[in-house]
Amino acid sequence: MRILVLGGDGYLGWPTALHLSDRGHEVAVADNYARRGYDHELGVDSLVPIEPMQVRLDAWREVSGKSIKSYYGDLVDGEFTEAMIADFRPDAVVHFAEQRAAPYSMIDRRHAVYTQQNNVIGNLNVLFAIQQVDPDIHLVKLGTMGEYGTPNIDIEEGWLEVTHNGRTDRMLYPKKPGSFYHLSKVHDSHNIEFACRVWGLRATDLNQGVVYGQETPQTARDARLATRFDYDAIFGTVLNRFVIQAVLGHPLTVYGTGGQTRGLIDIRDTVECIRLAAENPADRGEFRVFNQMTEKYSVGEIAKIVANGYEGPVEIEYLDNPRVEQGEHHYNVRHTGLVELGLEPHLLSNTLIESLFRVADKHKERVDVAAMRPTVNWRHAANPLRADR
Ligand code: NAD
Ligand code: USQ
């Protein structure tokens, strides 16, 4: 297949492009390198050094004999997006290219507006481009488990059969997201469902849980193929952060009581889920939703797993939660769709955590410990014009 990976320079987009290329697909990546720009803006960096795109592509050609085409541009530019899709003529577009950090979207008005503009308009431009160029192209879109929030009923895969006053309908599952970032994904999902219903597009919305891990079989083939590994309080995700904190001797920063539960997934399963979704497209007019997670853990449990897995002493610190989220709640999620397509999950294991400890240990000199503390407060947006906030 011809597969275009939007956001192909990112933590997940890059290993996905390699996985698909390794499986014999004709792959192109696209990116505007905004993610590298946020690092400059925030004064942080990936723990594992990453190479510029051209070096990555040359290295992949060297080790695999396969070429990946690269486009540079911003999805918010609708003309660029349509021209790229018309040029590459993919069978599937895998869309990772969004601002993905909840804390970044909660910094202040400017960051919230940027996140929603970037994500919602970029996605809308992708939908229009597909409709214009070839409505048969399958959109594989990265959503998030956080679209659902933590409702007090079981979470289904995207849709819910509702009976109300004696009548029944199949409705989009109600959403209760926890940040302006997560809200942008809800808006995307609605726009995609509408495009499927009205234009007959085919789309798969992958509501992914929190990803952990740093290596895939392809990225491990050469240091120049490494993907990023974020640890800072804005872009670092919980398990990856806890691993790095343990190695540094920094207390594990559990927010609140640690009772909040999330769906998790190994990065090796992320790339495989994308392959499965792309190779088994949704039908024309179908808005297909999968919950892309393999296990659930509370934050407190994650901290304990990491602490118990590390050879040295580890302290767990319970911080006042900077976010507004439920501490204790029901969390029972259906996630069978991808398993039915053939996913064989890598469950969280000591081997994986040990390999992450090794990665963290190798690069620990690069850590800026000050970037570990949470600074973004859900209850008070920063106001750059007022010194007191
Ligand atoms: P990332 O920030 O590392 O990668 C996203 C890439 O998209 C970056 O390289 C960025 O430069 C690019 N991008 C952003 N806006 C763009 C635009 N307007 N035009 C072109 N390129 C643009 O993020 P990631 O961790 O790889 O996540 C990828 C996707 O998966 C995101 O949509 C995210 O919401 C979703 N997701 C991630 C996780 C996780 O734990 N990392 C979990 C669930 C869902
Ligand atoms: N948390 C801590 N301590 C930390 C960091 C996080 O207790 O040091 C807690 C948070 O309060 C939250 C949970 O861990 O309850 C997850 O936080 P996170 O930062 O790992 O993940 P989140 O903000 O939800 O965002 C990440 C990705 C995002 C993706 C989402 C999937 O950045 O792109 O959409 O995971 S999900 O959580 O399922 O929505």
Residue 195 CA to residue 96 CA, distance in Å, equals 18
3-state secondary structure of 345: coil
Q: Within 10 A of 285 (CB to CB), how many other CB atoms are there? A: 15
Residue 225 CA to residue 9 CA, distance in Å, equals 11
- The pLDDT tens digits for 319-367 are 999 999 999 999 999 999 999 999 999 999 888 899 999 999 999 999 9
DSSP classification of residue 281: P
* Closest ligand 2 atom, residue 241 Cα: 8
Residues shown for the chain: 389
| Contact (CB, 8 A) for 64 and 225 | no
Ligand 2: distance of its center to the CA of 205 in Å? 19
pLDDT at 214: 96
Ligand 2: distance of its center to the CA of 29 in Å? 26
Q: Is 323 in the pocket of ligand 2 (CB under 6 A)?
A: yes
pLDDT at 389: 43
Residue 237 CA to residue 25 CA, distance in Å, equals 30
Select from 374, 353, 366 the least CA-distant residue to 303.
353
Q: Is 216 in the pocket of ligand 2 (CB under 6 A)?
A: no
Q: How many helices and strands (H and E) does the chain possess?
A: 13, 14
All domains of the chain in start order, with CATH: 2-372 (3.40.50.720)
Angle, vertex CA 344, rays to CA 177 and CA 310, nearest 5? 75
User: What average pLDDT is seen over the chain?
Assistant: 97
DSSP 282-328: PPTT-EEEEEE-SEEEEHHHHHHHHHHHSSS---EEEEPPSS---SS
Q: Is 209 in the pocket of ligand 2 (CB under 6 A)?
A: yes
Here the tokens at position 44 are 């942080």
Tell the burial category of 341 from Cβ atoms under 10 Å away from its Cβ (0-12, 13-18, 19+): middle
Q: Which ligand is nearest to the CA of 146?
A: 2
Residues annotated as catalytic are 144, 181, 185
- The pLDDT tens digits for 221-275 are 999 999 999 999 999 999 999 999 999 999 999 999 999 999 999 999 999 999 9
pTM: 0.98
